[in-house]
Amino acid sequence: MNNILIEKSVSSENGQTFYWVSHTNKEVTIVFLPGLTANHTLFEKQIMYFYDKYNVIVWDCPCHGKSRPYKNFNYSNVSKELNTILKTEGIGKTVIIGQSLGGMIGQYYIDAYPKGVIGFVSIDSAPFGDYYSKSDFFWLNQLEWMCKLFPDSVLRKSMAKMCGVTQGARERMERMLADYPKKELCHLMYIGEAAFIPENKCIKLPCDSILLLGDKDQVGKVAAYNKKWSNETGYPLMVIKNAAHNSNDDKPEEVNKIIEDFLLSIG
């Protein structure tokens, strides 16, 4: 994948953020945002499919992959980094595609910087807004110490198993997790989730949006959140059979077809 994308970075007072870009002189740019603990390789099968059809950008989210160290992780700061990247690249029309944490960052970004965003695809993510109970927020705050209770190898394998049904998706997740020492991994799980709590707000997306959900996604209450999200907003919910939390990696052909049809439908 790296032979078709150009590696670049932007810097702020919080750290250096790496991203990879392919310019094909197309009108629309797809921006891929990987999920918590994942890096840009999560979307390898999407990038290989779309890079010659659209301009493509994918990043290592701050605190992830090459974009470490990074201080003051929150949705506002991360969205500013993404906006800097898109301004640096002179991007006009964009479609944001975010998996898990990436989908939540995508929502926050679109709310803060709506200009030019014509579409949003959520992959096994969760909504901003009034969907969460006090107990939901309580357990998000417990993630760091709870993760530390697991032996290192057990923690990584259990995370990979929850993210993928297929062996390939699980192996990719394990490779991405290998970037982090256990202490850093546990802390990343905490800041990636707990950062959401003080910044949660009702967000009404101004662009066409669809939701994708693996039918075997058992991460937290993601499945329940997506069903309620779809019911309350009218966003179409596309259930991907025999796929877990990283449904784009478990079922790349099906997910790519859904994304392509969506892109064509919005012009």
pLDDT band at 96 (very low <50, low <70, confident <90, very high): very high
pLDDT at 2 exceeding the cut of 70: no
> What number is the average pLDDT over the span 177-205?
94
58-82 residue pLDDT tens: 999 999 999 999 999 999 999 999 9
pLDDT at 264 exceeding the cut of 80: yes
pLDDT at 106 exceeding the cut of 70: yes
> In terms of DSSP bridges, do strands 55-59 and 93-99 run parallel, antiparallel, or are they unpaired?
unpaired
> What number is the average pLDDT over the span 140-155?
93
4-48 residue pLDDT tens: 899 999 999 999 999 999 977 788 999 999 999 999 999 999 999
> Whole-number mean pLDDT of the chain?
95
> In terms of DSSP bridges, do strands 6-12 and 15-22 run parallel, antiparallel, or are they unpaired?
antiparallel
Helix (H, G, I), strand (E, B) or coil at 240: strand
H-assigned helices in the chain: 44-50, 75-88, 101-112, 134-140, 143-148, 152-163, 167-177, 182-194, 196-199, 222-233, 247-250, 252-266
117-141 residue pLDDT tens: 999 999 999 999 999 999 999 988 8
The residue ranking higher by pLDDT, 195 or 239, is 239
Q: Within a 13 Å sphere around the CA of 134, how many CA atoms are in the beta-carbon half?
A: 0
> What pLDDT is recorded for position 130?
94
pLDDT at 171 exceeding the cut of 70: yes
> What pLDDT is recorded for position 193?
86
234-262 residue pLDDT tens: 999 999 999 999 999 999 999 999 999 99
pLDDT at 267 exceeding the cut of 80: no
Q: What is the pTM of this model?
A: 0.96
Q: What is the C-alpha to C-alpha distance for residues 113 and 115, in angstroms, rounded to an integer?
A: 6
